[in-house]
Amino acid sequence: MTSTEQPFSRRVRLFVAYDGGPFSGFAINVGVRTIAGDLSAALERVLGHPVTLSVAGRTDKGVHASVQVCSFDVPVEFPLHRLNPARLAKSLNALCGPSISVREVSLVGSDFDARFSATWRRYHYTVWNDRAPNPHLAAYSWHVPDPLLLAAMNQAALPLLGQHDFSSFCRRPPATAGRPPYSLVRNVRSAEWTDLGDGRLRFEIEASAFCHQMVRSITALLVDVGRGRRRAVEVTGVLAAKDRARSTVVAPPHGLCLVGVGYPTDVSLRLPARRPS
């Protein structure tokens, strides 16, 4: 856009957190409750016109987020006072809370897009590793009563680092006529298990992007290694096979949480991680 051209719209960015338990995923899906459905309806009610959300990560049914980033446009003639960040956040939280929390609202440049501008996403997966279940963590962790060997799980995670075809760990979208096959190549920047010292084990994984069920499939395989059901050296073969049949088990969704999103023009869009409540 040249200096003499005027924008046709203004772009708004939201930082959102949510408890994914009550929802059938993020993306709008007719007939079921979704995060985007509730958030879009609230925005339309507050702003007086429909919006189309772009989102950093389309989380699955039951998956949580402490940091999710959304963006949408409003017409340039839309009154600026109605886009007051604090007022808009308060109105949205009154309509969407407590399962959805709009933690920050800001006006951004038209070159920003929550999905396409993002350069990395980070997830945490939490395992409650104790013989007895924990009712206070049951909605946000996977209860695994078997003893887990953390060193083996971290050794098994090493082959996942770097750029690979993750077909063995992802559900491939259906083919679309006239379009090339969907690529499941992703670049994993880090993947590590940590013992939090209170019965919780946390798997943190960061990548350029993730495909459907990728983190949950990886988590399930690594937990099987920790249980002694599979060997760490098997992960390399599973990855190289590019065959979904080699890794069909997925960890339950409620242990997974989107905790960070990165953009090239910002130092960081990561907010302090808080367990959804």
pLDDT tens digits for range 186-210? 999 999 999 999 999 999 999 999 9
Token code pair at residue 6 = 């005027």
- Clarify whether residues 99 and 230 are in a common domain: no
Question: In terms of domains, do 86 and 159 share one?
Answer: no
CATH number at residue 128: 3.30.70.660
Distance CA 104, CA 41 (A): 18
Report if residue 36 sits inside a domain. Answer: yes
Q: Which residue has the higher pLDDT, 6 or 97?
A: 97
pTM, rounded to two decimals: 0.90
pLDDT at 269 over 50: no
Total domains, the chain: 2
Q: Which of 19, 60, 113, 266 is catalytic?
A: 60
For residue 246, what pLDDT is reported? 86
Is 130 assigned a catalytic role? no
Pairing of strands 64-75, 100-108: unpaired
Residues 6+ apart with CB under 8 A from 179: none
Burial class of 196 by CB neighbour count within 10 A (0 to 12, 13 to 18, 19+): exposed
- Residues contacting 97, CB < 8 A, separation 6+: none
Q: Are residues 95 and 127 in the same domain?
A: no
- Segments forming the whole domain that contains residue 240: 120-262
CA atoms within 13 A on the CB side of 258: 30
